[in-house]
Amino acid sequence: MPAPIRLRELIRTIRTARTQAEEREMIQKECAAIRSSFREEDNTYRCRNVAKLLYMHMLGYPAHFGQLECLKLIASQKFTDKRIGYLGAMLLLDERQDVHLLMTNCIKNDLNHSTQYVQGLALCTLGCMGSSEMCRDLAGEVEKLLKTSNSYLRKKAALCAVHVIRKVPELMEMFLPATKNLLSEKNHGVLHTSVVLLTEMCERSPDMLLHFRKLVPQLVRILKNLIMSGYSPEHDVSGISDPFLQVRILRLLRILGRSDDDSSEAMNDILAQVATNTETSKNVGNAILYETVLTIMDIKSESGLRVLAINILGRFLLNNDKNIRYVALTSLLKTVQTDHNAVQRHRSTIVDCLKDLDVSIKRRAMELSFALVNGNNIRGMMKELLYFLDSCDPEFKADCASGVFLAAEKYAPSKRWHIDTIMRVLTTAGSYVRDDSVPNLIQLITNSVEMHAYTVQRLYKALLDDISQQPLVQVSSWCIGEYGDLLVSGQCEEEEPIQDEVLDVLEGLLVSNLSTPVTRGYSLTAIMKLSTRFSSVNRIKKVVSIYGSSIDVELQQRAVEYNALFKKYDHMRFNLDVLYDLVSLLFQANDLLDLLGGNDVMPVIQTTLPTKPASAGGELLDLLGDLSLSGRTTVNGLKIEFTFERANPNPNIAVITIHATNTTEADMTEFVFQAAVPKVSHDLSVTFV
């Protein structure tokens, strides 16, 4: 059989393929030749064939038929065969396949081999793909190699021990005696792997964490030697001595100093030295500073040291590297709750990051900006965030709008500012707000009694400018329906519309293609409400009757029910003048509401009155009976006048004065006066003339 082609020739041939089909044909042809060689038990070229098979595996083609050949190479006495065999085992085998158990004995023999490079191959393979069964069987050999004086084997044994601990945590104590002298090693490779091993043990066991806290002074000394040592070509990276070891030590110090005052105190000075002496012009120095900042924030460090760490992150925000800016924003977001004032000093830089072209940086900057909002900077921060909302991509609008809603609700300096801010959001990004924003804004408007006229005017103007933002249209429709009388009553700051103009706008929403079914429901309900506030009742009846046959079931049901109110209960509609008097009485003379208190109120005047239909004004109109809301009325020749005032010594007491006058010439008999004032303190005086 001719000798198979070499790996280099195979690579060169595959690279000449112009199409995927041509490459696949070459691979299939070579795989067929390799299979034939395996079947013939050709030991001469087995190593070459497995190497080519591994290259095909890295290209994404199936190579599982070479697993047993890897085991045969591992069992070979040649180092070149073992090297390819172990490499193939790490690539083609894992603990889910039972085949890997066949190599346990070979690895055990190689761990006791006289050649350190063979031992190194066995340690690498066990540390890469060893299963829990293999780790239990071979942990003893790994522990022996961890104690050897050979630094080449010690660093590989330390990494292998990390894998063993991850697979079988109960074997951790086996390696504890071997860790005593690891940090005394001068070799940086052994130091590095030893710190990794100690970190793994501390993270997995609280007992180990307590045990290794006594090593903090030794770790501090090693780190100090690294930053104070001169130039060492073997370990120097961009002018910094072994940054990889420095980063690992900082991570271990972070774990050891967490929630421990003594350990944190021991490492405060060295952390300050690293933070001030590390060069920031290179990315290597920035990596060390970032780990230093994380360590300072995670341990019980001094306040000055924490401010220094946040200032480092602030400098990171000015870096041209996007990755550095991103990690700085992420770290500041984690620390803003504990060191709010220190982060506030970098507020302008954080806000500038909202203009960054990178979407990840913009998102982190937006989240951090909302975290910085408080009662002192709410106006300035909202101005910047609303500007960002205007210009940001659609993917940010929903989160930004929600953040503005929450911040405005928590820190609003005034109700007018709150309403203006929410309306600005609805105008800018109304289609992106959450579903609960509409009822929340309606509740806000309802509670802001003194802002009703201003709010309905602003919403009416917004409705004239744009009807595409459905949440804005829904809130506007509700507000016009509820407070439409204020829109045409002369209380507006600008030119007020007439009733027909308001109805034209609401009717336009009903027929607009931009309106959703929910929006049409709001509009129809608003028109119905205006029938008690406007005089154009016939026009409103006509509009409502049209939608009684709408294909939208919800809209049809509303229209049918409203038509029923017009037909059956139209006699309950109270006059518009009465409504204005009621509003005036409720908001300008609230003593009456304080007086009434509960719902179980008896009539104030008991006299014979003409029978009349029930009023739609609720318990308040029922209470007053046939009396005018102005506080003065005449019934069957009896003139009655009410006056209300607060008592000067005690404002919680309402004083009600009633003047009853007989305006007829005849005497009145069987006159009975009864009064009931529940749930409040009262002082009642009655004068008869």
Note the pLDDT tens digit of each residue in 269-281: 999 999 888 887 8
CA distance 532 to 527: 10
pLDDT at 429 (0 to 100): 80
Q: What is the pLDDT of residues 515-559, one digit of tens each?
A: 888 889 999 999 888 888 888 888 888 888 888 888 888 888 888
What integer pLDDT is reported at residue 548 of this predicted model? 86
Output the pLDDT for position 577. Answer: 43
* pLDDT given for residue 615 in this prediction: 37
Tens digits of residue pLDDT in 113-145: 999 999 999 999 999 988 888 899 999 999 999
- Range from 51-60, 391-400, 640-649, 661-670 carrying the lowest mean pLDDT: 640-649
Q: Give the model's confidence band at 684: pLDDT under 50 very low, under 70 low, under 90 confident, else very high.
A: very low
The Cα–Cα gap between 88 and 378 comes to: 62
Question: Is residue 494 over pLDDT 80?
Answer: no
Per-residue pLDDT, 228 = 84
CA 396 – CA 389 distance, rounded (Å): 8
The pLDDT, as a whole number, for residue 664 is 80
Whether the Cβ atoms of residue 610 and residue 626 lie closer than 8 Å to each other: yes
Whether the predicted model's global pTM rises above the 0.75 cut: no
At 427 the pLDDT is 86
Q: Give the H or E element holding residue 282.
A: none
Structure tokens at 601: 């109120």
- The tens digit of pLDDT for each residue in 22-73 reads 999 999 999 998 888 888 887 788 888 899 999 999 999 988 888 888 888 9
Rounded to 10°, the helix 537-546/517-530 angle is 150
Q: How far apart are CA 223 and CA 274, in angstroms?
A: 9
Tokens in use for 262?
A: 């003594």
Give residue 125's pLDDT.
92
Alpha-carbon torsion, ordered 665, 666, 669, 671, to 10 deg: -20
Q: What confidence tier does 578 reach under pLDDT thresholds 50, 70, 90?
A: very low
72's tokens = 């045969």
- What percentage of the chain exceeds 70 in pLDDT? 85
